[in-house]
Amino acid sequence: MFNRTQKDILQLLNTLLNFQKSIININTKEELNECLIKCQEAAISVGNEIEKNDSDLKYIVSELEQYCEIIYSISQTDSYAEIEKYFKLINDIVNSVIKQIKEVKVKYRVVFLPYKADMWDSLESIWVEFAKDNRFDCKVVAIPYFDANRQTGQWEPRYDALRFPKNVPIVPFEEYNLGEMQPDLAFIHNPFDKYNLVTSVHPDYYTVELKKYIKHLVYVPYYVNSGFISDQYKQLPALLRCDSIVVQSKSAKKSCEKERFFDKVIALGSPKFDKLINSKDKVSVPEEWIQKSADKKKIMLNTTISDLLGFEGNDKSLINKLRNLFDIVSQRKDVVIIWRPHPLLEATIKSLRVELIEDYNALINEFISCDYGIYDKTGDVSNTIIYSDAYIGSDYSSVINMFEVLGKPIYLLNSNIIYDNSKGSLPADKAFSKPSVYAYFAARESEEYAINNFLDDLVNDNLENVTEKEIVESRNLAENLDGTCGEKIYRYFSEKLIKEEI
């Protein structure tokens, strides 16, 4: 029996008890019969609910059938003494049923509502723990979403159900009616509702709608960073409407201390780090990648939305920067680029920089046709990070922190300037640093430490001291950086559910 069902049945039984109280105080036969009809209807409703939800409780239904027989006997007598005797019997039956229903072991409904398969790693390790516990009916419901297209002026429908890992049983959203299911607990990773110009989950899954049916709604960010919640995020619907907000670190919680939702914030870590730490020895990439990267250093190239939005109008700085990078790398035989654009980058161009879409698509086609490297279309960024030896790209991305945790060198491009094929004289130990608390331990592109400096140091294994310092610096990035974040989140919420604290 589900927790919500048990509560509904107990509520019905308490209503029945209230009806019964009137029986021995009613003066007219007509009023008595009215009351008895209500009692019988309530008892039948309870019996129907029990039969519908738990076939093992037929013995309780038998007691309710006996109850209905006694109700009939009351309707057939005018003796006050008999009515008193029958009243005691039905009272005993209802209290007995209440006691038995309270003793029934219940299940709790837990649902995960991801929209983009690429972001599933922000929830996965929590789901793994709930799915193992038979006290919970745990479902993953991939929800539909839309990408904006300024070329057509339309929102293009998207549905990622087939892109999730094969070990995740996806329930089609049409088959999971939130109003009927009334989940006890739900996890989401989209905080925006309608306040995103690029992408939107279906309006049926905005937080204002979810809160109508879900007892406790939890937001887990789809990103990681250096340990803070930005001011713009603090105004998003999920942070204001959700019942709990899981953040990666105590410093991230502290950054919310002046907000009205501060008491909802729980610092337990990020499942994205779990995915990395627990998958280090299980990485799986396409065979084509292995062939192309044989005997080469593998570098993940990450291009993000902030790279694109940093430039106004028709500016093609990012595209020109990438073309220059591809030219540099194509002249070397000791490295391979794995280019993984942000999963929303193309949608952002269509929505906010529509004039660049032809140039962007032409660059992708050139990268693939000229065999500059590996174009990453896989759904799981964790595999790419684990497989790569280093990071190169945007200076603002949650992916960077994931490289930090694994102790892999990070080189941040400056999209405003093209340094061509130059080299500087700055040694790696001087080039890599963490300039502030909320910055990354990385080298920043400059004339003194250009792209080829970084590639040479990587290929010649000159970055051992750098990566040792990087690992030390990353230790305070998040709570539970030992791969147990999902387990800790599961324990926190499962205990609260069972103690009925939420």
With bands split at pLDDT 50, 70 and 90, how would you rate the model's confidence at 343?
A: low
- Give the pLDDT of residue 184: 96
pLDDT at 305 over 80: no
Judged by average pLDDT, the poorest of 15-24, 88-97, 216-225, 489-498 is 15-24
Give the pLDDT band (50/70/90) at residue 113.
very high
CB proximity list for 98: less than 8 A, separation 6 or greater? 10, 13, 14, 17
Same domain, 311 and 369: yes
SS3 228: coil
- pLDDT score of 154: 85
Residues 322 and 388 in one domain: yes
**Mean pLDDT score, 130-150:** 93
Domain identity same for 300 and 160:
no
Determine, yes or no, domain membership for 276.
no
The highest-confidence range among 64-78, 331-345, 453-467, by mean pLDDT, is: 453-467
Those residues whose C-beta lies under 8 Å from the C-beta of residue 265, and which sit 6 or more positions away, are 245, 247, 252, 253, 256
Judgement on whether residues 404 and 357 belong to the same structural domain of the protein: yes
CATH code at position 370: 3.40.50.2000
User: Does 496 score more than 80 pLDDT?
Assistant: yes
The verdict on residue 275 lying in a domain is: no
Q: 314 falls in which pLDDT band (50, 70, 90)?
A: very low
For residues 52 and 159, membership in a common domain is answered with no
pLDDT at 80: 84
Residue 469 to residue 314: CA distance in whole angstroms: 41
Quick one: 456 and 344 in the same domain? Answer: yes
In a 10 Å sphere around its CB, with 0-12 CB exposed, 13-18 middle and 19+ buried, how is residue 115 labelled? Answer: buried
pLDDT, position 352 = 72
pLDDT at 315 over 90: no
| Domain range for 412 | 281-476
Q: Give the model confidence (pLDDT) of 269-296 as tens digits.
A: 999 999 999 988 888 889 999 999 999 9
Judging by beta carbons within 10 Å of its beta carbon (0-12, 13-18, 19+), is residue 28 exposed, middle or buried? exposed
Q: Hey, what's the torsion of the CAs at 112, 115, 116, 122, to 10 degrees?
A: -30
Whether 68 is covered by a domain: the verdict is yes
Pair (119, 187) in one structural domain: yes
- Per-residue confidence (pLDDT) for residue 349, from 0 to 100: 72
Is residue 54 situated within a structural domain?
yes
pTM of the model: 0.83
Q: What does the pLDDT read at residue 378?
A: 84
Q: Please state, in angstroms and rounded to a whole number, the distance separating the CA atoms of residues 406 and 386.
A: 8
Domain shared by 403 and 363, yes or no? yes
Q: Taking residues 339-351, report their average pLDDT.
A: 76
pLDDT of residue 308: 64
Q: Is pLDDT at 313 greater than 50 in this prediction?
A: no
Say if 492 falls within a structural domain. Answer: yes
102-128: average pLDDT: 94
Average pLDDT over residues 235-245: 94
- Mean pLDDT, the chain, rounded, equals 90
In this prediction, residues 163-189 reach a mean pLDDT of: 96
Residue ending a domain, among 38, 70, 103, is 103
**Does pLDDT of 502 surpass 70?**
no
Q: Are residues 84 and 119 in the same domain?
A: no
pLDDT confidence bin for 114, thresholds 50/70/90: very high
Indicate whether 133 and 151 sit together in one domain.
Answer: yes
**Domain for residue 436, yes or no?**
yes
Whether 61 is in a domain gets the answer yes
Give the model's confidence band at 196: pLDDT under 50 very low, under 70 low, under 90 confident, else very high.
Answer: confident
How many independent structural domains does the chain possess?
Answer: 3
Side chain identity at 296, as an amino acid letter? K
Q: Look at residues 48, 80, 103 and tell me which one is the last residue of a structural domain.
A: 103
- Residue 262's nearest CA partner among 285, 234, 287, 288 is 234
The answer on 201 and 301 residing in a single domain is no
Q: Are residues 287 and 309 in the same domain?
A: yes
Residue whose pair of structure tokens reads 């009916």 in the numeric block: 137
Give the distance between the most distant pair of CA atoms in the chain.
107
Q: Is the pLDDT of residue 311 over 60?
A: no
Asked which of 103, 133, 165 is the last residue of a domain, the reply is 103
